[in-house]
Amino acid sequence: MAVEKEILISAKNLKKEFRMGDTSQMIFENLSLDIYKGDFTVIMGASGAGKSTLMYSLSGMDRPTEGSIIFSDKEITKYNDDKLAIFRRESCGFVFQQIYLLEKMSLMDNVLTAGALGKNNKKEVIQRAKELFELVNIPAVTQKKFSTQVSGGEAQRAGIVRAIINNPEVVFADEPTGALNSNNSEAVLNVFTKIHNEGQSIIMVTHDKKTALRGNRILYIKDGQIFGDCSLENYKEANKEREQKLDEFLAEMGW
Amino acid sequence: MIQSQLFYNLKKDKGSYISFGIVILITAIMLNLALVLVFQVDRAYDNKFEALDTATINVCIPQIQDTDTLKDDIKALESVSEVECREAVFLEAVVKDFRGTDFSMNTVFYNKDESRDMNKLDIKEESAESTKESIYLPLYVASFGEFGLDDEIIYEIGDKKHTFLVSGVLEEMQYGNYGKGLMGAYLPKSVYEEFASEYEEHMVTEYSIIANDNTEINALNNEISSLLEEKSITMLTSCDKASTKDTRTMVCNLLILVLLAFALVILLVSVFLCKFRISNSIEEDMVNMGVLKALGYTGNMIIGSVVLPYLMVTLVASLFGVIASYGILPSLSELLTLQAGFSFRLLFDIKGFICVETILVFIVTVFTYTAAKRIRKLQPINAIRGNSEGKAIKKNYFPLEETHGNTKLLLVLKQMFSNGKQNALLFGVSFVLTILIAFASTLFYNVIVEPNNFISTLSEEMPEIVIYPKEQHEATIVSDLQSNSDIKTVLKYTMGTVNIDDVPVTVFACEDFSKVSNDLCYLGENPDEKNEIALGSSFEGKYKLGEQIEIQNGDISCSYEITGFVQSVNYQGNVCELSMEGYAALNSESIVPSLYVYLQDGTDVESLIADIEEQHGDMISNQVNYQKMTETTQEMYAGITSIIVIVIFVLTILIALFVLYIVIKTLLVQRKQELGIYKAIGYSNWQLMVQVMGSFLPSSALAVLLSSGLGLVYVPQMNQFIFQTIGAMKNNMEVSFTFLMIFALIQIVVNFIISISLTKPIKKISAYALIKED
Ligand SMILES: Nc1ncnc2c1ncn2[C@@H]1O[C@H](COP(=O)(O)OP(=O)(O)OP(=O)(O)O)[C@@H](O)[C@H]1O
Ligand SMILES: [Mg+2]
Mind telling me how many Å the CA of A238 is from chain B's nearest CA?
Answer: 31
Whose C-alpha lies nearest to ligand 1, atom 25?
A47
The verdict on a CB contact (< 8 Å) between B681 and A146 is no
Instruction: Please write the tens of the pLDDT for every residue from B615-636.
Output: 888 888 778 888 877 777 777 6
Between B586 and B331, residue with greater pLDDT: B586
The verdict on a CB contact (< 8 Å) between A112 and B400 is yes
The verdict on a CB contact (< 8 Å) between B685 and A117 is no
pLDDT at B774 over 90: no
Tell me the pLDDT band of A2, cut-offs 50, 70 and 90: very low
The rounded distance, in Å, linking the Cα atoms of A188 and A153 is 7
Q: What is the mean pLDDT of chain B?
A: 85
Inside any domain, residue B735: yes
Between B369 and B284, residue with greater pLDDT: B369
Share of chain B above pLDDT 90, in %: 33
Domain match, B75 and B192 both: yes
pLDDT at B225: 84
Whose C-alpha lies nearest to ligand 1, atom 11?
A48
Largest alpha-carbon pair distance within chain A? 54
Between B485 and B640, residue with greater pLDDT: B485
pLDDT at B444: 87
Query: Residue A100: which of B393, B408, B677 has the nearest Cβ?
Result: B677
Query: Residue A146: which of B396, B411, B682 has the nearest Cβ?
Result: B396
Which residues from B are below 8 Å from A82, CB to CB?
684-686
Stretch B103-118: mean pLDDT: 89
B181: closest CA among B614, B555, B508, B490? B508
Query: Residue A61: which of B414, B686, B768 has the nearest Cβ?
Result: B768
Contact residues for B636 (Cβ-Cβ < 8 A; gap 6+): B99
Which residues from B are below 8 Å from A81, CB to CB?
685, 763
Domain match, B707 and B637 both: yes
Stretch A84-100: mean pLDDT: 87
Stretch A84-98: mean pLDDT: 87
Å from CA of A45 to ligand 2 middle: 10
Inside any domain, residue B234: no
Query: Residue B411: which of A113, A129, A146 has the nearest Cβ?
Result: A113
Domain match, B108 and B185 both: yes
Å from CA of A226 to ligand 1 middle: 16
Stretch B477-505: mean pLDDT: 88
What ipTM, to 2 d.p.? Answer: 0.79
Owning domain of residue B551: 459-627
pLDDT at B460: 80
Backbone φ and ψ for B520, nearest 5 degrees, come out as -85, -10
Per-position DSSP letters for chain A, written without gaps between them: -GGGSPEEEEEEEEEEEEEETTEEEEEEEEEEEEEETT-EEEEEESTTSSHHHHHHHHTTSS--SEEEEEETTEEGGG--HHHHHHHHHHHEEEE-TT----TTSBHHHHHHHHHTTSSS-HHHHHHHHHHHHHHTT--HHHHTSBGGGS-HHHHHHHHHHHHHTT--SEEEEESTTTTS-HHHHHHHHHHHHHHHHTT-EEEEE-S-HHHHTT-SEEEEEETTEEEEEEE-PPP-S--HHHHHHHHHHHHHHT-
Per-domain boundaries in chain A: 7-253
The arrangement of secondary structure in A7-253, i.e. its CATH architecture, is 3-Layer(aba) Sandwich (3.40)
Domain match, B266 and B194 both: no
> Which chain A residue lies closest to B419 (C-alpha atoms)?
A104
Please state the atom number of ligand 1 nearest to the C-alpha of residue A54: 18
pLDDT at B207: 95
Q: Name the range with the highest mean pLDDT among A198-207, B398-407, B513-522.
A: A198-207
SS3 B737: helix
pLDDT at B389: 45
B204: closest CA among B111, B74, B117? B111
pLDDT at B325: 92
Please state the atom number of ligand 1 nearest to the C-alpha of residue A53: 18
Domain match, B196 and B326 both: no
Lowest-pLDDT range of A64-68, B55-59, B285-289, B318-322: B285-289
Domain match, B196 and B154 both: yes
Å from CA of A153 to ligand 1 middle: 26
Inside any domain, residue B221: no
Considering every ligand atom shown, identify the ligand nearest to the alpha carbon of residue A54 and give its number: 1
SS3 B280: helix
Å from CA of A175 to ligand 2 middle: 7
pLDDT at B215: 80
Domain match, B358 and B304 both: yes
Domain match, B571 and B523 both: yes
Contact yes or no for B562/B544 (Cβ under 8 A): yes
SS3 B724: helix
For residue B90, list its beta bridge partners: B108
Ligand 1 binding pocket, CB closer than 6 Å? A 18, 20, 25, 27, 45, 47-53, 207; B 772
Share of chain A above pLDDT 70, in %: 99
Tell me how crowded residue B359 is: count the other CB atoms within 10 A of its CB: 17
Stretch A71-95: mean pLDDT: 88
B627, B662, B685 — which closes off a domain? B627
Domain match, B721 and B773 both: yes
Query: Residue A85: which of B673, B677, B683 has the nearest Cβ?
Result: B683
Stretch B226-233: mean pLDDT: 85
Q: Which of A15, A31, A42, A51 to mutate to test the pocket of ligand 1 (most atoms within 8 A of CB)?
A: A51
Instruction: Please write the tens of the pLDDT for every residue from B329-385.
Output: 888 888 777 777 788 888 888 999 999 999 999 999 999 998 888 888 776 666 665
Domain match, B269 and B354 both: yes
Number of domains in chain B: 4
Q: What is the mean pLDDT of chain A?
A: 91
Stretch A20-26: mean pLDDT: 87
Q: Which of A14, A16, A17, A18 to mutate to test the pocket of ligand 1 (most atoms within 8 A of CB)?
A: A18
pLDDT at B390: 43
pLDDT at B701 over 70: yes
pLDDT at B59: 92
Mind telling me how many Å the CA of B391 is from chain A's nearest CA?
Answer: 10
B216: closest CA among B84, B80, B82? B80
The rounded distance, in Å, linking the Cα atoms of A167 and A169 is 7
Query: H or E segment at B166?
Result: strand B160-171
pLDDT at B644: 76
pLDDT at A226: 94
Mapped to the 3 state alphabet, what secondary structure does B379-428 carry? Answer: CHHHHHHCCCHHHCCCCCCCCCCCCCCCHHHHHHHHHHHHCHHHHHHHHH
Instruction: Please write the tens of the pLDDT for every residue from A33-43.
Output: 999 999 999 99
Contact yes or no for B312/B17 (Cβ under 8 A): no
Residues of A near B (Cβ–Cβ under 8 Å) read 52, 56, 61-62, 81-82, 85-86, 88-90, 92, 94, 96, 98, 100-106, 108-109, 112-117, 122, 125-126, 129, 143-144, 146, 148, 162, 174
The rounded distance, in Å, linking the Cα atoms of B552 and A142 is 94
Produce one character per residue of B215-253: b if its CB has 16 or more CB atoms within 10 Å, e if not: beeeebbebbbebbeeeebbbbbbbbbebbbbbbbbbbe
Inside any domain, residue B230: no
pLDDT at B731 over 90: no
Instruction: Please write the tens of the pLDDT for every residue from A49-60.
Output: 999 999 989 988
pLDDT at A1 over 50: no
Domain match, B109 and B18 both: no
Between B320 and B660, residue with greater pLDDT: B320
Stretch B426-455: mean pLDDT: 87
Backbone φ and ψ for B173, nearest 5 degrees, come out as -120, 15
Q: Name the range with the highest mean pLDDT among B132-146, B524-538, B614-628.
A: B524-538
Whose C-alpha lies nearest to ligand 1, atom 30?
A48
Contact residues for B261 (Cβ-Cβ < 8 A; gap 6+): none
Domain match, B647 and B621 both: no
Q: Which residues have beta carbons under 5 A from ligand 2 (an ion)? A: A 52
Considering every ligand atom shown, identify the ligand nearest to the alpha carbon of residue A173 and give its number: 2
Asked whether the whole model's pTM tops 0.80, one would answer no
